[in-house]
Structure 1
């Protein structure tokens, strides 16, 4: 059975991979036939750079971790799912005995096994075995495409929780990529009255403006801080979400921040970021950091089903599994206006 394999930096192949024949269903597991898998920025970074920080690809690895599919086999102790259920999957499996997991912070468990993070294989393949506890049934009104968006949406919802959003807050989201836009949606759903989104891509900013009470700011033509202070009568925003991973943008997070505001760093930085302690101190700013998510998948599914959040506009292109290599080549070129690309597997 074919899988999309990162053989080495800048070399992908669709080929038979033995992992499909090695995975057995334990009593608390389910086997899932994959339907839709999103292309994440981390997948692309592994493809273009051969690694990300401490995670380096040292052997062929299957890519993909944003996924939905159908249960085709269940373990003997599974009672919450049955064959035929449509599901999405939380891709990280923590060690239940670790201290972080026992504290409820399983996302920062150093022993967590996360799909498509070396040396753990991803899910751009026909099927996968996964714990039922980290597999979530999709309501009838949530599509496979939306189900595959739960994983990135979980990052935004986790960020909104970390930001302690209060009804009527104003927020700035730096970066209009997939994570920036799901964060904007999560901030609005959590109670923000208005969200500013800053980027340099007019197409993405136009898409953002159609998602709700969102004010786009093209920072190649306009100073974001000046625009925000003008719109908020000099007060600023209560929350800044840094989703761009751009060092220059990250260095300016305190400038548009209101007194007692909160800053949440989400975007992965490739190097050290300047941190102006003085600007943070005079605002008594609270700074938070996000690493993936914890305890939010069920919330995300519920919000998609209720209509509280609509991720469909963010899905800008779909590819057949047979075109997976080309899909990654296109994603790596970062075409303007593209937000979330997805790959659909044969059914």
Structure 2
């Protein structure tokens, strides 16, 4: 089927691609989905520009894409919660149901998890896919296909906010105003934060951040230090929670500066190399440090918040391309336009 294929580093093509038969077999608890909207994730772009992310190396042509929504067109014989015609979004990681991590409820850290567009597993920038019923979620009428394709990145922010154990009235800092930083800011507000400071170097992205809520305060890191700004606004106390969503070693080295005593740091942004960690700064604050890897058990929460209006991701969708423009879309995404947050691709219906 016609797919967006990463042939190798720096080379994409839109071509007919043979899908292995076992990927297309509809099991009794599977559904077949016609894809509608697929978001372009930073990891997709990184595979395109670098050919690898940490230990995951592109060694053969691979279909990209893992943020998706679509329509069920066929169901397995034992499927009970979905039917043909249902609009859905899909959680892209399928764990081994018998692994210890899965049985403990931490299926996202199962070493055997098969995650779309992570070598050697193909993604879903293609017309159809087969997916387990258990990881496919029906959409309420109030949630569009475009919003539904944002559930995957939103799940990262909701998982991070959950790990932070936010309390009503907390003050939070988010380092990074990219897609993950902004969905994390929205998740922190939905979790009860009174204010969220968002720090970045891009004025365009900070303008988008500030437009999302009057409770979001934009801080340009090139002009002022977020730690100084937060402490000035909190009588020197600091923020209750800090989310690191840049993936930048320089930013990660400063995670404790804005943090209040007893505060929590959640590391979200992936770091390709070991980072500087100020153990003394963490110690004197008795800081709690959490790490997240993707997400677990949050897709239904995300769908419910989109449906109720508790979280609005529509302002983050800044550009949409037709499927035939997929290569161009990735070339633009790789150039990191400062005014763009989330780009999406719509497939023919």
TM-score class, shorter-chain normalisation, is: over 0.9
Q: Give how far 1:300 is off.
A: 0.2
**269-278 vs 32-41, greater mean Cα deviation:** 269-278
| Equivalent in the alignment of 1:27 | 28
| Equivalent in the alignment of 2:314 | 312
State whether residues 197 and 208 of structure 1, in contact with CA within 8 Å, keep that contact through their aligned partners in structure 2: yes
Q: 2: distance between equivalents of 1:220 and 1:269?
A: 21
SS in 2 for 1:121: coil
Q: 1: distance between equivalents of 2:148 and 2:19?
A: 24
- After superposition, give the CA deviation of every residue in 1:225-250 in whole Å (9 maximum; x if it has no partner): 11111011111000000000010110
Please, what TM-score do these two structures have when normalized by structure 2? 0.99
Q: 2: distance between equivalents of 1:102 and 1:44?
A: 33
SS in 2 for 1:70: strand
Runs (4+) of structure 1 moved beyond 6 Å? none
Aligned residue runs from structure 1 range 256-335, under 5 A: 256-335=258-337
Residue 15 in 1 paired to residue 15 in 2?
yes
- After superposition, give the CA deviation of every residue in 1:138-159 in whole Å (9 maximum; x if it has no partner): 0001000000000000000000
Aligned residue runs from structure 1 range 216-255, under 5 A: 216-255=218-257
Q: Give how far 1:61 is off.
A: 0.2
Q: 2: distance between equivalents of 1:3 and 1:202?
A: 35
Q: 1: distance between equivalents of 2:162 and 2:230?
A: 23
- After superposition, give the CA deviation of every residue in 1:40-88 in whole Å (9 maximum; x if it has no partner): 0000000000010000000000000000000000000001000000000
Q: Give how far 1:21 is off.
A: 5.6
| Equivalent in the alignment of 2:216 | 214
- After superposition, give the CA deviation of every residue in 1:107-155 in whole Å (9 maximum; x if it has no partner): 0000000000000000000000000000000000100000000000000
Q: 1: distance between equivalents of 2:135 and 2:229?
A: 42
Q: Give how far 1:210 is off.
A: 1.2
| Equivalent in the alignment of 1:205 | 206
| Equivalent in the alignment of 1:150 | 151
Please, what TM-score do these two structures have when normalized by structure 1? 0.99
Q: Give how far 1:290 is off.
A: 0.7
Q: 2: distance between equivalents of 1:14 and 1:309?
A: 34
Q: Give how far 1:20 is off.
A: 7.0
State whether residues 64 and 116 of structure 1, in contact with CA within 8 Å, keep that contact through their aligned partners in structure 2: yes
| Equivalent in the alignment of 2:111 | 110
Q: 2: distance between equivalents of 1:29 and 1:189?
A: 33
SS in 1 for 2:119: coil
RMSD: 0.7
State whether residues 318 and 342 of structure 1, in contact with CA within 8 Å, keep that contact through their aligned partners in structure 2: yes
Q: 2: distance between equivalents of 1:20 and 1:79?
A: 27
State whether residues 35 and 69 of structure 1, in contact with CA within 8 Å, keep that contact through their aligned partners in structure 2: yes
- After superposition, give the CA deviation of every residue in 1:3-40 in whole Å (9 maximum; x if it has no partner): 00000000000111111765111000000000000000
State whether residues 20 and 127 of structure 1, in contact with CA within 8 Å, keep that contact through their aligned partners in structure 2: no
Could you tell me which runs of 5 or more consecutive residues in structure 2 were left unpaired when the two chains were aligned: none
Q: 1: distance between equivalents of 2:330 and 2:145?
A: 20
- After superposition, give the CA deviation of every residue in 1:141-194 in whole Å (9 maximum; x if it has no partner): 100000000000000000000000000000000000000000000000000000
State whether residues 265 and 290 of structure 1, in contact with CA within 8 Å, keep that contact through their aligned partners in structure 2: yes
SS in 2 for 1:210: helix
